[in-house]
Amino acid sequence: MSTQELIFIILLGLSFGSFLNVVIYRLPRGESLLIPSSHCPKCRKPLKWYHNIPILSYLFLRGRCAYCGEKISLQYPLVELLTSALLLSLYVKYKPLYGWLSFGFLSFFVLILIAVFFIDLKHKEIPDLLTFSLILAGWLFSLTGKNPLGLTLKESLISSFSGMGLLFFINEVYYLFTKRDGIGMGDFKLMGGLGAYLGYQSFYNLLLFASLIGVISFVVYQIYSKFIKKVSFSSEDPLKREIPFGPLLSLSALIYLFNPKSLL
């Protein structure tokens, strides 16, 4: 692994992260991903190429639009850095042993999950385009025989459907006790995609991680809003809010990808 290779992957990750920012903003709003070119969401002025360089432009513009001075969300450089860091880790962990094709399919998995994480967190929905691509890519991946987890096409197919079935079952149980749905349709399809890539062997870990992260972030959020931001919950019971299951599942899938079978 040469230095040039690593630099190439870092830059590749930054550019994919930049594209993910477009996906995260436009896909849930039903806008085209390609046209028009990037513009400021406030003043709608099209950005120049040098306003679009990952990280650097954000620092250079000090986090504000070059035209109207509107604050640019910290999420933009964050997504770029995160994407780059994850692709680099994937490359170091999987490319030497499993080759470029494997790295490509796994990168696609990571990119989709980053998009799902941020879109579901904000809009509480997961676009079908993302979940269906994930499912299809997972099946195709196992067909190539290059999945590091050793999944065959048959296992990948079975895992997709059992993943969706499992969440459906959990939702039914949840409904039985609370008389409302806790898990959305997007989550079922997402679990299908995770099954296609990671196999049903991962389900135990995925759900365990997701619940753990869910509980921890709930507690942290409670403390934050009670003692730091002082938001009052009197009008609304926080437990009655929908569970953001997509982000939790995406996060646990990423943990599993880098550390498979860790808790079994």
Alpha-carbon span 197 to 234, nearest angstrom: 42
C-alpha angle 75-79-33 in degrees, rounded to nearest 5: 95
Contact between 170 and 183 (Cβ < 8 Å): yes
Measured from the CB of residue 46, what is the shortest distance to Zn ion in angstroms? Answer: 10
Q: 66 or 121, CB closer to Zn ion?
A: 66
Among residues 137, 111, 134, 107, which one has the least CA distance to residue 23? 111
Among residues 93, 96, 114, 118, which one has the least CA distance to residue 13? 114
SS3 64: strand
Measured from the CB of residue 38, what is the shortest distance to Zn ion in angstroms? Answer: 11
Does residue number 39 form part of the binding site for Zn ion (CB under 5 A)? no
Measured from the CB of residue 33, what is the shortest distance to Zn ion in angstroms? Answer: 21
Measured from the CB of residue 67, what is the shortest distance to Zn ion in angstroms? Answer: 5
What residues between 40 and 69 interact with Zn ion by CB under 5 A? 40, 42-43, 65, 67-68
Among residues 199, 211, 217, which one has the least CA distance to residue 162? 199
Measure the CA dihedral 110/124/78/203, to 10°: -30
Stretches 34-42, 116-124, 190-198, 202-210: which one binds Zn ion (CB under 5 A)? Answer: 34-42
Measure the CA dihedral 235/239/241/246, to 10°: 160
Measured from the CB of residue 79, what is the shortest distance to Zn ion in angstroms? Answer: 19
What residues between 124 and 163 interact with Zn ion by CB under 5 A? none
CB half-sphere exposure, 236, CA atoms < 13 A = 6
Stretches 12-20, 37-45, 50-58, 145-153: which one binds Zn ion (CB under 5 A)? Answer: 37-45
Among residues 212, 203, 211, which one has the least CA distance to residue 158? 203
Alpha-carbon span 40 to 156, nearest angstrom: 42
Q: 65 or 257, CB closer to Zn ion?
A: 65
Measured from the CB of residue 64, what is the shortest distance to Zn ion in angstroms? Answer: 8
Q: 45 or 226, CB closer to Zn ion?
A: 45
Q: 57 or 131, CB closer to Zn ion?
A: 57
How many CB atoms are closer than 10 A to CB 109?
23
Q: 8 or 50, CB closer to Zn ion?
A: 50
Q: 75 or 217, CB closer to Zn ion?
A: 75
What residues between 70 and 129 interact with Zn ion by CB under 5 A? 70
Q: 70 or 149, CB closer to Zn ion?
A: 70
Query: For the chain, how long is the longest CA-to-CA vector?
Result: 58
Measured from the CB of residue 70, what is the shortest distance to Zn ion in angstroms? Answer: 5
- Token pair recorded at residue 79: 């997504």
Q: 46 or 150, CB closer to Zn ion?
A: 46
Q: How many residues bind Zn ion (CB under 5 A)?
A: 7
Measured from the CB of residue 41, what is the shortest distance to Zn ion in angstroms? Answer: 8
Which residues are near Zn ion by CB under 5 A? Answer: 40, 42-43, 65, 67-68, 70
